[in-house]
Each structure stands twice: as structure tokens, then as C-alpha cells.
Amino acid sequence: MSRLAVVCGGSRGIGGAVSRLLAERGCRVAVVSRDRDAAGAAVASLRGVDHVSLSCDVSNELEVKKSFETIQKTCGDVSYLVNAAGINRDALLLRTKPEDMLAVLHTNLLGSMLTCRAALRSMLRTQGAAIVNIGSVVGLRGNAGQCVYSASKAGLQGFTLSLAKEVASRNVRVNLLAPGFIRTDMTAGLEEEEAVGVRSVPLGRLGEPEEVAQAALFLLESPYVTGQVLVVDGGLQLVM
């Protein structure tokens, strides 16, 4: 049977592109997002058969547990897990409400921890299992106006490297992908020519979700790569 890939945040944006690419490569894909209709529509658009959609808030422990039980029961063991579910509530720290801090940390950091934990036993049973967590270049470099978001992504880096060490002996690989500015709903508010930072991207443009998906596929399929941070940012990190 073909590999099963769970893509959290797979209904659109970067996760949507990852879902499409994995389906094209013959994986069965389980798309997870809060909006049931959007997840269902994403699955309906995938090439091939046997894909499923699940409505789940990754920051909710019970929902994550139930979703992965359902995946196990209906689809079997998980080979690939991609954590692309994420939100931002960008503002200067003095203008950031504590509830927004919690929402960002719970979705971006706790959410990935919960899904990794829920998938891991199943992944230990499969050959060549791999996890890709989607961090951000601002988690590596910091960015004014993104203190909380950057902290969530820096935390995700520490989590990824530690988990890579924990599970390497069981042949599960764990890597972090750190995109720069990518054209998705998350950056839809940024006018390309106006956005601070975008102008200074050495490659001179926003990245496309498909370009991040290519890098995710590389990490998932590279059997001797674990505990790495792969930056996909058009060179932005060079000038940050």
C-alpha cells in the first residue's frame, strides 16, 4: 500500500501545496484543518484516490488524539507528518494581547508537539518515517512586530532538533523547514511592492507555496537527513 502522509494545515497555502505534491507522488494524504469544508475541498482536488479530510484544531489535545485515532483506524500507519498549521497575530509586543500570544503559541508550537506525539507510535512502525515542521526564517533571525510569532517558530526549532535526537535510533527523521515570505493567505495583507522586507529579498520576489513544497518533499524523501533546518527564503536570511 502507498505511504500515508498527514498534512496539518493542508487545506490551503503551503500545506495545500504539500498535500498536492505528495498526492502527485503517489502518497495517500490525510488533510487536517479546522474548517471541515475547506479540508474536504482540498482533498477533492487531489490527484489519485484514498485521501481523507479531518476537521481538527491542532491546539486542542482531545481533537488531535481523536483525529489520529481515526486516521489510524481508517488509513493505517503514518509514514509522513507535515506540520504546516499556523497563524500569526503580528503586532509590536506592547500592542499584543495575552490572548493573542496564547493563540499563536498554542497553534504554532503546542499544536506541532501534540500532532507529533499523536503520530509517533504509528510512525515507529513504518519504514522511512519522517516529520517536517514548518518554522520560519523569523524564528531564526527575529523580526520587529513578530515577537510572539518568532518565539513560536524558534521554539519549534528547539522542539524539532530535540525530537530528531529522541527518535533517530528508531529511524524516524525530523526536520524543520524555515520559509521566508511566501504568497499565501497569511501574507495576503502585504502589498508586494510596499511590504517592508519583501523589497530586500535577494531573489526580489515572494516565494510560492509550491517552492516550499518541493523542499518539504526533499526532506521527507532524504533517508540520511535529520535534525536539519532548511531555509527556503529567496536569500532573505542573508540580509536580515
Q: Which residues are catalytic?
A: 149
Give the span between the Cα atoms of 11 and 42, in whole angstroms.
5
Give the span between the Cα atoms of 201 and 61, in whole angstroms.
38
Using the rule CB under 6 A, which residue among 46, 84, 123, 132 binds ligand NDP? Answer: 84
Instruction: Report the nearest approach of ligand NDP to the CB of residue 188 (Å).
Output: 8
Q: Scan residues 103-122 and list those touching ligand NDP (CB under 6 A).
A: 107-108, 111
* CB-nearer residue toward ligand NDP: 186 or 225: 186
> Under rule CB under 6 A, how many of the chain's residues touch ligand NDP?
32
Using the rule CB under 6 A, which residue among 19, 53, 59, 160 binds ligand NDP? Answer: 59
- Residue that the C-alpha cell 525530537 belongs to: 163
Measured at the CA of 189, the angle between CA 186 and CA 193, to 5 degrees, comes to: 115
Using the rule CB under 6 A, which residue among 4, 5, 11, 213 binds ligand NDP? Answer: 11
* CB-nearer residue toward ligand NDP: 126 or 218: 218
SS (H, E, C) 10-79: CCCHHHHHHHHHHHHCCCEEEEEECCHHHHHHHHHCCCCCCCEEEECCCCCHHHHHHHHHHHHHHHCCCC
38 is a contact residue toward ligand NDP (CB under 6 A)? yes
> How many other C-beta atoms are found inside a 10 Å radius of the C-beta of residue 166?
12
- Residues in contact with 112: Cβ distance below 8 Å, sequence separation at least 6, in sequence order: 8, 58, 83, 85, 133, 156, 159
Measured at the CA of 187, the angle between CA 208 and CA 197, to 5 degrees, comes to: 90
Give the span between the Cα atoms of 3 and 48, in whole angstroms.
13
Using the rule CB under 6 A, which residue among 5, 85, 116, 140 binds ligand NDP? Answer: 85
Give the span between the Cα atoms of 178 and 135, in whole angstroms.
5
Using the rule CB under 6 A, which residue among 13, 52, 116, 123 binds ligand NDP? Answer: 13
* CB-nearer residue toward ligand NDP: 55 or 126: 55
Instruction: Report the nearest approach of ligand NDP to the CB of residue 72 (Å).
Output: 18
Instruction: Report the nearest approach of ligand NDP to the CB of residue 158 (Å).
Output: 16
* CB-nearer residue toward ligand NDP: 85 or 148: 85
* CB-nearer residue toward ligand NDP: 86 or 123: 86
Site residues, ligand NDP (CB under 6 A) = 8-9, 11-15, 32-35, 38, 56-59, 84-87, 107-108, 111, 134, 136, 179, 181-182, 184-187
